[in-house]
Amino acid sequence: MGTIEGFQPSFEKDGPAGGAVAPPVVKLYGTTTSPYTRKIRLLTRAAGLPVTMVDTRTAEGADALAHIAPLGKVPVIEMGPPGPAGALDDGAPRVLADSGLIAAWLWARHAPALRAAGFELSPDDWSGRALTVAVEGALDAAINRFYLLRDKLPDQGYVSRQADRVATTLAWLDAHMPAFARPLSGATLSLGCALDWIVFRGMADLPRFGRLVAFREAWTASGVGVGTEPG
């Protein structure tokens, strides 16, 4: 039997003209080492939202990313097909290029599923958001330093100041971050992903920070991130 050109399998919901409507295809651009991409892999999995991962370490993936996201950072999600003005029916842009933005979008659209999976990402959690800024500031500094050292820049000046920033912020988090608990807040998710990446890349001396070590042990034991570990 031949194939019908343009054939789309039918889905439960009918479109305005009675035709079958395909669910939007969600592409997730990223890598399996990226801690920010990991946040989104975890959340889309918890939300039950199927995504097609585009590995941006391949030439095709990097090229596709460059076409949709000027910053060239990951994660990026791209949703399709486009509405008339390049936006989704609900007005959200088709391309979201920041893990915090993507997480907020997922919470806005999939809170019941995320709650059922043990997450609580309310935007009204101001102290949690403040903690997330600290976690991700340290992670940004660690990632920046990692790339600069990999490119053989000497470990001095701004490169070594980034190490100081990571250490001072981890010390602050060691004193201020609540213990790992459920439901998982955005700060908990960020810290779990950040600590795993920092250890994976050897970008800080984690054993100096006893409460963060305990946090990471509880995070690992929870199984929340299982199957998405950096590697």
Ligand X SMILES: N[C@@H](CCC(=O)N[C@@H](CS)C(=O)NCC(=O)O)C(=O)O
Q: Please, which of residues 81-100 interact with ligand X by CB under 6 A?
A: 98-100
| Complex with ligand X: residue 21 or 62, whichever CB lies closer | 62
Q: How far is CA 81 from CA 6, 51, 59, 84, in A?
A: 14, 14, 24, 10
C-alpha 129/C-alpha 135 separation (Å) is: 10
**Binding positions for ligand X, 159-178, rule CB under 6 A:** none
Written as six digits, the tokens of 85 are 């003005």
Q: Single out the residue of 29, 36, 180, 209 in contact with ligand X (rule: CB under 6 A).
A: 36
Asked if 142 and 166 touch (Cβ cutoff 8 Å), the reply is yes
Of 11-19, 70-78, 200-208, 209-217, the window that binds ligand X (rule: CB under 6 A) is 70-78
Q: Is 73 a binder of ligand X (CB under 6 A)? A: yes
| Encoded amino acid at 185, one letter | S
Q: Give which of 198, 207, 211, 212 is closest to 163, Cα–Cα.
A: 198
Is residue 41 involved in binding ligand X (CB under 6 A)? no
Which CB sits closer to ligand X, 161 or 182? Answer: 161
Phi, psi of 25, rounded to the nearest 5 degrees = -85, 125
* Least spacing, CB of residue 101 vs ligand X, in Å: 8
Using CB under 6 A as the binding rule, whether residue 61 contacts ligand X is answered as no
For 124-127, which contacts have Cβ atoms below 8 Å and span 24 or more sequence positions? 125/185, 125/186
Does residue number 105 form part of the binding site for ligand X (CB under 6 A)?
no
Binding interface with ligand X (CB under 6 A): 34-36, 73-75, 98-100, 143
